[in-house]
Structure formats: structure tokens, C-alpha cells
């Protein structure tokens, strides 16, 4: 059961843990909007350790869109958005 | 790991290439001696792959979307199903989801994989070296217009640039805008206008 | 843990160098590495995430100084040694 739905505001985790992950640093600690929900996928952070498909964690995968000014903490000169496909554990609900 | 020679040239000089060829050969020979695979099978796989890389799946997809708005809508909703509809070989799409993103008069899309080099190889063939390069991966998410300018493309400042960072097992392809003055063209001729760079988002299509 | 690979937004990498009409592979050995990796993945020696992680863990100067398929080759060699397939 996916926790987030399109239109939800989410914040990415503040920093990446050691090891393999698919949240780029430039998108850590950023607020974005869920644009699509893609179903359940094995978590690459665990698969990279050789964990079998049967036993690894599987989570909902989302496309999240971030505004350029939010990503780069600069007032955007020209309109920019960046999207990334992120697993649920990389995200938290954002209140505001 | 043994040392590699330093080199500036992106693809190595003759010596580095010969050295890599022999290291790869040695690894393949070891794997063959362990019964993992055979050199002959590997070389056949290279041939098969290279024969397949001339496929024009990307341009065909776009041209069909240009002439058929209902197909375009289906493509945007479910690209894997749309590929299948066009009879494109789905062998390599089993575990991969394709997403088509369309350029409009308000949005220009560009694809990247900042973390490594994920790319819709099954649709477009192996990616160009620049796509996998550190300059592209680092800069396109931050200054896409400067990157596009290097590609000779200048966008209207009001257009939103949307950069899709391929961080998971979704692969992206851009549906470029149909150029003006192409109304009379047959679908095959429209497909000929669609370049690989336009499918990545670093170019737009032009009328012949 | 080096995160040399995580380059989104990093500065200093310079202009994008393009080679017009470049071939799919510049050398035969690159094509062999490409299909070798595909085959080893199919055979289940390692998975794609392990492969990516192996590349990410190359020493920074090796990551930055190697060509794309050189990195693939180093990762494959390393993984096969880790998994006890080699020597």
C-alpha cells in the first residue's frame, strides 16, 4: 500500500547513509511533489549488498518533482524543475 | 586491482586499448576454463547486439505519436504498452518501465542519470559518451540552458525546462515537438526527422 | 565512503565534449565487456545494484580517471573475485 499519492508534498531525507542508495546528494533535504506512483520495487540499497529478491525490502517507488529554486536554493532565473524516481523510505510527509 | 595507465584521451590511445583488449581476453578465457561461458558465445552475442543497434524504435514511436493523437495519449499513459502496439521487440523491456515525456510550447524535457548512466538502451541503442560523462551528469540538472546552448539549442526563457534524473528502473524518452511545415509528410519521412539527441532532449526536430 | 559518482550539481567538470557520429563502441573489447556484463547478470553471478555499487566504490582517482567501460571491467573483475568465481 503506497503511503503517498500524486499531489502530496514530501521532503527527502536529510543525508544519505553509508552504502549504495539512489537519492542523489543534490536532492537530499528538499521538498517536492509526488507526480506519479509506480508500484512496488525492491530497495536497491539492500540489493546492492547481494540480498535476494525474495527477502529484501520492497517499497513503493515515486516520481517526485522539485522546483529548481528549491533544489539549488537560488531564485530561479528561468523556470526549471528536476524530477527523480525515489523509494518511499527516502521520503517523509511534508506538512506545509 | 592492477593499475591502469593515466590518459587524457577519452577512449584511450592505442596502447591502452591493446592492454584492455588483452585483459578482457584473459578474463573471458578464465571464465571459459571454469565453464561459466564460452568465448564463441560471447562473440556471437556481440554480433547479435551490434546487428540490433540500428533499430529505429525511437523515431517510429515519435512519428506515430505525431500523426495519431490517440496513440500519443496511450504512449504518455503507458509507454511499454505503446511499444508493444507498434510491434517493437519487448525482450529487454521485461523488468524496465519506459516513460515518454512530451515537449510542449511550455515545457522542454531533458533526460539524465546523474548517479551513473541509466538510459533507454533497449530503445535507442548504447548511449553516447557525452551522456555518460561527468560534465553532462553534473551540469544538466543545475544549468540545463547552458548545456543546451553548448548543443546549439536556445530556448525561449519562459519555457520550463524539466530534467528527469533516472534514479530507478524507469527509463525516459522525450517526445519532441513536431516541426512546423511537415503537414504533408508520410510517417516514415517524419521518423527520419527525429534524431537521437531530440529523444534525449538536447536537440529539437527540424523540418527537412 | 566516497561518493565520487554522485555528481549532480557539482562544478568544475567543464564543457561537454561530443564526438559526432560516434560508434556504439570504440573498441571491440568494450562491446565484449558490455555483453559479458549482461551475460553475468543473466546467469545471476551478481545483480545490477551490486554492479553499480562496485563501480561507486572504485577509488576516486580510479573512478575519475577511467573510461566508462574500463570502470565496468574493473567492477566485473572485482565482483567475480568477491563472489569466489575468480581466480
The sign of the CA dihedral C45, C48, C52, C55 is: positive
Is C54 inside any structural domain?
yes
CA distance C5 to C2: 8
Q: Is B17 on the interface with C (CB under 8 A)?
A: yes
Those residues with Cβ within 8 angstroms of residue C6's Cβ, 6 or more apart along the chain or in another chain: A24, A25, A26, B114, B115
CA distance A27 to B141: 11
Nearest to A16 by CA among C42, C5, B184: C5
Is C13 inside any structural domain?
no
Is C24 inside any structural domain?
no
Q: Could you tell me the three cell numbers for B154?
A: 536556445
Counting the structural domains of chain A, the total is 1
Strand partners, A9: A33
The helix-helix angle for B69-77 and B57-67 (nearest 10°) equals 130
* Domain CATH for A26: 2.30.30.50
Counting the structural domains of chain C, the total is 1
Q: Are A12 and B167 in contact (CB under 8 A)?
A: no
For strand A58-67 and strand A80-87, is the pairing parallel, antiparallel, or unpaired?
antiparallel
Is A3 inside any structural domain?
no
Residue B175 pLDDT more than 90? yes
Residue span of the structural domain in which C67 resides = 46-87
Q: How many CB pairs under 8 A join B and C?
A: 140
Nearest-CB residue to A24 (from C6, C49, C52)? C6
**What percent of chain A is predicted at pLDDT more than 90?**
90
Those residues with Cβ within 8 angstroms of residue B186's Cβ, 6 or more apart along the chain or in another chain: none
Q: Is B117 a catalytic residue?
A: yes
Residue B7 pLDDT more than 60? no
A20: which chain C residues are within 8 Å (Cβ-Cβ)?
49, 52-53, 56
Q: Could you tell me the three cell numbers for B3?
A: 593499475
- Using the beta-carbon criterion (under 8 Å), do A82 and B141 form an inter-chain contact? yes
The pLDDT of residue C54 is: 98
The pLDDT of residue B101 is: 98
B57-200: CATH class = alpha beta
B touches which chains (3+ CB pairs under 8 A)?
A, C
Least confident of A77-81, B167-171, C12-16: A77-81
Residue B15 pLDDT more than 80? no
Is A84 inside any structural domain?
yes
Is A22 inside any structural domain?
yes
Confidence class for position B5, pLDDT limits 50, 70, 90: very low
Is A63 inside any structural domain?
yes
Which residue of chain B is at minimal alpha-carbon distance from C22?
B128
Residue span of the structural domain in which A67 resides = 9-93
Number of C-alpha atoms within 13 angstroms, CB side, residue B92? 14
Is A47 inside any structural domain?
yes
The mean pLDDT value for B149-160 works out to 95
Q: Which residue has the cell 533497449?
A: B122
For A39-54, what is each residue's pLDDT tens digit? Answer: 999 999 999 999 999 9
Is C31 inside any structural domain?
no
Q: Is B116 a catalytic residue?
A: yes
ipTM: 0.97
- Whole-angstrom Cα Rg for chain B: 20
Nearest-CB residue to C70 (from B20, B42, B50)? B20
Is C15 inside any structural domain?
no
A80: which chain B residues are within 8 Å (Cβ-Cβ)?
144, 160-163
Backbone φ and ψ for C46, nearest 5 degrees, come out as -155, 165
Confidence class for position B3, pLDDT limits 50, 70, 90: very low
Q: How many CB pairs under 8 A join A and B?
A: 59
Q: Could you tell me the three cell numbers for C19?
A: 564526438
For B55-110, what is each residue's pLDDT tens digit? Answer: 779 999 999 999 999 999 999 999 999 999 999 888 888 888 999 999 999 999 99
Nearest to C79 by CA among C48, C46, C57: C46
The pLDDT of residue B9 is: 45
Strand partners, A81: A67, B162
CA distance C26 to chain B (A): 7
The pLDDT of residue C1 is: 59
B167: which chain A residues are within 8 Å (Cβ-Cβ)?
22-24, 84-86
Amino acid at each position: 500500500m503506497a503511503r503517498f499519492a500524486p499531489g502530496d508534498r514530501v521532503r527527502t531525507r536529510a543525508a544519505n547513509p553509508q552504502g549504495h542508495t539512489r537519492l542523489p546528494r543534490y536532492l537530499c533535504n528538499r521538498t517536492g511533489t509526488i507526480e506519479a506512483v509506480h508500484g512496488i520495487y525492491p530497495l536497491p540499497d539492500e540489493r546492492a549488498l547481494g540480498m535476494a529478491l525474495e527477502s529484501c525490502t520492497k517499497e513503493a517507488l515515486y516520481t517526485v518533482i522539485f522546483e529548481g529554486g528549491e533544489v539549488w536554493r537560488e531564485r530561479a532565473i528561468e523556470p526549471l524543475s528536476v524530477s527523480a524516481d525515489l523509494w518511499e523510505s527516502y521520503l517523509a510527509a511534508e506538512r506545509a | 586491482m592492477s593499475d591502469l595507465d593515466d590518459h587524457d584521451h577519452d577512449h584511450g590511445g592505442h596502447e591502452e586499448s591493446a592492454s584492455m583488449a588483452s585483459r578482457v581476453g584473459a578474463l573471458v578465457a578464465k571464465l571459459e576454463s571454469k565453464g561459466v561461458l564460452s568465448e564463441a558465445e560471447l562473440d556471437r552475442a556481440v554480433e547479435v547486439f551490434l546487428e540490433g543497434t540500428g533499430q529505429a524504435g525511437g523515431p517510429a514511436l515519435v512519428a506515430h505519436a505525431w500523426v495519431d493523437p490517440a496513440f500519443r495519449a496511450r504512449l504518455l499513459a503507458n509507454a511499454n504498452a505503446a511499444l508493444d502496439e507498434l510491434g517493437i521487440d519487448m525482450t529487454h523491456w521485461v523488468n524496465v518501465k519506459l516513460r515518454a515525456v512530451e515537449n510542449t510550447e511550455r515545457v522542454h524535457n531533458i533526460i539524465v542519470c546523474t548517479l551513473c548512466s541509466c538510459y533507454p538502451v533497449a530503445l535507442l541503442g548504447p548511449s553516447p559518451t557525452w551522456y555518460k560523462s561527468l560534465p553532462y551528469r553534473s551540469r544538466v540538472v543545475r544549468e540545463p540552458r547552458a548545456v543546451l546552448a553548448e548543443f546549439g539549442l536556445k530556448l525561449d526563457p519562459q519555457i520550463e525546462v524539466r530534467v528527469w534524473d533516472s534514479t530507478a528502473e524507469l527509463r525516459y524518452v522525450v517526445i519532441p515537438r513536431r516541426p512546423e511545415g511537415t503537414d504533408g509528410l508520410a510517417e516514415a519521412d517524419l521518423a527520419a526527422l527525429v534524431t537521437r539527441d531530440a529523444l534525449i532532449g538536447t536537440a529539437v526536430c527540424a523540418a527537412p | 565512503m566516497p561518493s565520487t559518482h554522485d555528481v549532480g550539481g557539482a562544478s568544475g567538470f567543464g564543457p561537454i565534449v561530443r564526438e559526432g557520429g560516434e560508434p556504439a563502441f570504440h573498441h571491440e573489447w568494450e562491446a565484449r565487456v558490455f555483453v559479458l556484463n549482461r551475460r553475468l547478470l543473466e546467469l545471476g553471478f551478481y545483480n545490477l545494484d551490486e554492479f553499480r555499487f562496485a563501480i561507486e566504490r572504485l577509488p576516486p582517482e580510479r573512478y575519475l580517471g577511467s573510461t566508462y567501460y574500463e570502470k565496468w571491467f574493473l567492477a566485473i573483475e572485482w565482483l567475480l573475485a568477491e563472489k569466489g568465481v575468480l581466480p
